[in-house]
């Protein structure tokens, strides 16, 4: 089955700096890669996603890049703000049969943005 590795496990940056979180996946058939942000006591919130036919996607201060050959994808957050502090999860999804689907998650990165 799919295996997703995520690094680093913790990341501390100063407000205004950039943060980068990296993930690798094992199944070359995976074709959908979402990123989730989880704040304390809340459920994971989808913040951005990318499909395998796209190399990069950007939404304001957040961007995701995908390298299918190397089987890795990254989350980039620019101009970080204190409210960006949370745990971030990457995930990968591969084609199932018909409507079957499952997301395999990385182990999470705890991002702390300091003033």
Binding residues vs another protein (CB under 8 A):
31-32, 34, 36, 42-46, 49, 89, 93, 95-108
Containing 21, the helix (H) or strand (E) segment is: strand 19-25
The whole-angstrom separation of Cα 75 and Cα 62 is: 7
Q: Specify the residue, 69 or 97, whose C-beta has the smaller distance to another protein.
A: 97
Q: Closest distance between another protein and the C-beta of residue 58, in Å?
A: 17
Q: Specify the residue, 80 or 86, whose C-beta has the smaller distance to another protein.
A: 86
Q: Closest distance between another protein and the C-beta of residue 49, in Å?
A: 6
Long-range contact list for 100-103, CB < 8 A, 24+ apart?
A: 103/34
Long-range contact list for 51-55, CB < 8 A, 24+ apart?
A: none
Length of the chain, please?
115
Q: Specify the residue, 28 or 45, whose C-beta has the smaller distance to another protein.
A: 45
The whole-angstrom separation of Cα 30 and Cα 94 is: 4
Q: Specify the residue, 42 or 70, whose C-beta has the smaller distance to another protein.
A: 42
Q: Closest distance between another protein and the C-beta of residue 23, in Å?
A: 13
């Amino acid at each position: 089955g799919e295996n997703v590795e995520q690094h680093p496990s913790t990341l501390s940056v100063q407000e205004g700096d950039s943060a980068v979180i990296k993930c690798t996946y094992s199944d070359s058939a995976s074709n959908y890669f979402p990123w989730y942000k989880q704040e304390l006591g809340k459920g994971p919130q989808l913040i951005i996603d990318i499909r395998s036919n796209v190399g990069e996607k950007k939404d304001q201060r957040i961007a995701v890049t995908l390298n299918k050959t190397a089987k890795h994808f990254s989350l980039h957050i620019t101009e970080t703000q204190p409210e960006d502090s949370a745990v971030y999860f990457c995930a990968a999804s591969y084609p199932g049969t018909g409507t079957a689907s499952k997301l395999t998650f990385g182990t999470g990165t705890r991002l702390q943005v300091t003033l």
